[in-house]
Amino acid sequence: MIKRLISLLFIILVYQYGYAQQPIDIDFFAKVKGISSLQEKNGNIFFILRQADLSQDTYKSDLYQLIDGRAVALTSTGNVSSFLLLDDTILLRKSQKRVNKDMTVFYKLTKGYGEAMEWLHLPYCVKDIEFIDTNHFFFTAQQKLSVTKDNLPDSLIAVDASVRYRIFDELPFWSNGRGDINGLRSYLYYYDKGKITLLSDTLSSVSNIVLSPDKKSLAYTLKEHSNRVYEKNRLYVLDVVSKRYKEWQVMDEANYGQLHFIDDNHLFVSVHKRLKENPQSNALLYQLNIKTGEYKDLYDGDLYAPGNSVLSDIKYGNRSKITFDKTGIHYVSTVIDYAPLIHLNYSDHSVSYLTPKNVNVDEYIPYKKGFLLIASEDQQGQEIYYLDEKRKLVRQTHINIDLFASHQIVAPQLVIFTNRNGLQLKGYVLPPTNMETGKKYPTILDIHGGPRTVYGTSFFHEMQYWANLGYAVIFTNPTGSSGRGSDFAKLEGDFGGIDYDDLMCFVDTVIERVNYIDKERLGVTGGSYGGIMTNWIIGHTNRFRAAVSQRSISSWISFTTLSDIGYSFGLSYSGSDPWNDLPKLWKQSPLAYADQVKTPTLFIHSEEDYRCPLPEGLQMYSALRHFGVPSRIVIFKRENHELSRGGKPLNRIKRLYEITNWFQSYL
């Protein structure tokens, strides 16, 4: 109690008098603890804490329990990424490779939580698992199809063939963050007192397994391998006793997403369907009776899609089950630029907001008469909160509080502007720390990825770092972003149209209304969607003195056949493919306008980025060098599309250093 009072006094002194505040450094993210995997059993609360370790250039994560407001470590190995609560036992698992053979080992922490003891070996790379009891459970496991051996003598076959070459003979052949997936399948198995039975065929992949409350039914989705990259799968329900399964169909050509049992007989299903009128439509929400096959439309998903799309470069976790009561559904949704916990009423689809507007919820679970949340308030790090039945929010931890209170963190200022369609949009300006009256400051436009994500008012390390160096940082959510419904998200065939206009309108409004913005020293940056928009912007205006394009797309033509989501994503946003309307794709490709670029541009790309593959960045870089534009490319080895959020800590520092140094050179 005394420690918490001292901590509270320290926070009050810092915020009121500015005592002991330090600047946000380039490595601040490594000091922040990320919270995830919130679970509760018999009143005991467990979670995982993750933090970067710069000395080892890695991340360490361990299991913790919340005891009297304190985060108490239950493990110290630094490699706990997931856990399961089963009766009075905590199960930890570790997947590993042993001489070209996959192995998953489960460890048991018994009551009292002493040293973890090895409990079970499974000769598979286990993904999802659903327990009936400790002797009976279902699981999915990834496995490569057997490859025909070369017809060569053993003495002529390389023992390290897997590192010598890559062989592809199907689509998709790679996946960002997973590497080569050619021939990779996910099978469904049943474990019965040591006996393991394969329940799915070896040509399809099973995912999303979920067990009913009475443990008599298992629902799952199955994707058949068609050698074409289309987003569709099938929905099955398996009888646990007989092991017989039945397919249920809510609609044709659908992609079934989240599955959750409402009760023993009713299954919640989210359904994505590529609609011709709007490929970016949110998922539809249904209730399926697994006994009769009858289904009921719960919600069209238009404004309140499940999921937190608010971006941050310091948080972990972000997945929660959808829960149900007699009147409706609880889930986390993205609303304009924040992520509340909401309640959707079955009868009239009315929505109640359960958390305040300054709170972004990453995870939640039912607890007592309310909910436990992993969330962040304003410009703070993640903490655990209790939301009671009266919607009173009470913080339960102070894991990151002292760290944030001791540093110079600036609050974003709201800017409202109207786009060409007459819609009022919100943007923000992060002012430089320790501003001087009357002084103008260089300004960076930061564009988010996605485009189905949003920037909110939550803490973003790179922006705060630039503000501490004397930059103003501006950001908004142009047309195509999440949080405003399906119509707002539609960009098909208009990439670089309305979204580009929104961004430029926002910049014009900020210059007009914010007197410390130096309109002669503007920079622009962004990654993924923000990267393609950066490439697009420099080909359509010279108003920016410097640009940094990260993990970008330069040509829809090459992206279609190189990206792990190339065909489906490219078709949805460009509105065509290279074989039906090549000019349309080229017209929407930033590379087509490279000869008009004058802006000095830095490119940041990862060698193993299979979402926006490396040739996309190289093409734009090469074109700019050809046309005499000052440019540079930094390629990070053994990194993927998630470099800025989950890359090796020292690579994340190098990335931010390169970006900052580029802006300092030109702004």
Domains of the chain: 1-31+308-407 (no CATH), 124-146+168-301 (2.140.10.30), 408-666 (3.40.50.1820)
> How far is 624 from 597, CA to CA, in rounded Å?
7
- Give pLDDT, residue 228: 66
Per-residue confidence (pLDDT) for residue 1, from 0 to 100: 47
- Considering only 74-78, 190-194, 424-428, 590-594, which range has the smallest mean pLDDT? 74-78
pLDDT at 14 over 50: no
Token look-up 């794709």 returns 585
pLDDT score of 230: 59
Name the DSSP letter for residue 108.
E
Q: pTM of the entire structure?
A: 0.94
**d(Cα 257, Cα 220) in Å, to the nearest integer?**
10
Please tell me the distance from the alpha carbon of residue 234 to that of residue 221, in angstroms, as a whole number.
5
Give residue-wise pLDDT tens across range 25-43. 999 999 999 999 999 999 9
Mean residue pLDDT of the chain comes to: 92
pLDDT band of 147, cuts 50, 70, 90? low
Tokens of 194: 């040591």
Edge-to-edge order in the sheet of strand 351-353: 323-324, 328-332, 341-345, 351-353
Q: Which band of pLDDT confidence, cut at 50, 70 and 90, is reported for residue 19?
A: low
Residue 340: pLDDT above 70? yes
643 within 8 A of 658, measured Cβ to Cβ: no
Classify residue 282 by its DSSP letter. P
**pLDDT for residue 15:** 46
| Alpha-carbon 368 to chain mean position | 29
The C-alpha atoms of residue 309 and residue 383 are separated, in whole angstroms, by 18
Q: Can you give the pLDDT at residue 579?
A: 95
- Give the pLDDT confidence score for residue 462 in this predicted structure: 98
Does the pLDDT value for residue 146 go beyond 50?
A: yes
| Percentage of the chain lying above the pLDDT 70 cut | 94
Q: Beta-carbon neighbour count of residue 294 at 10 Å?
A: 11
Q: What is the mean pLDDT of residues 602-620?
A: 98
pLDDT digits (tens, 9 = 90+) for 97-136: 665 678 999 999 876 666 788 999 999 999 999 999 999 9
- Residue 8's contacts (CB-CB under 8 Å, 6 or more residues apart) are none
- What is the pLDDT, as a whole number, of residue 232? 85
Straight-line distance from the first to the last Cα atom of the chain, in angstroms, rounded to the nearest whole number = 49
514-559 pLDDT per residue, tens:
999 999 999 999 999 999 999 999 999 999 999 999 999 999 999 9
Confidence at residue 20, expressed as pLDDT on a 0 to 100 scale: 62
**Contact (CB, 8 A) for 292 and 270:** no
Q: Mean pLDDT throughout 80-90? A: 89
pLDDT, position 107: 92
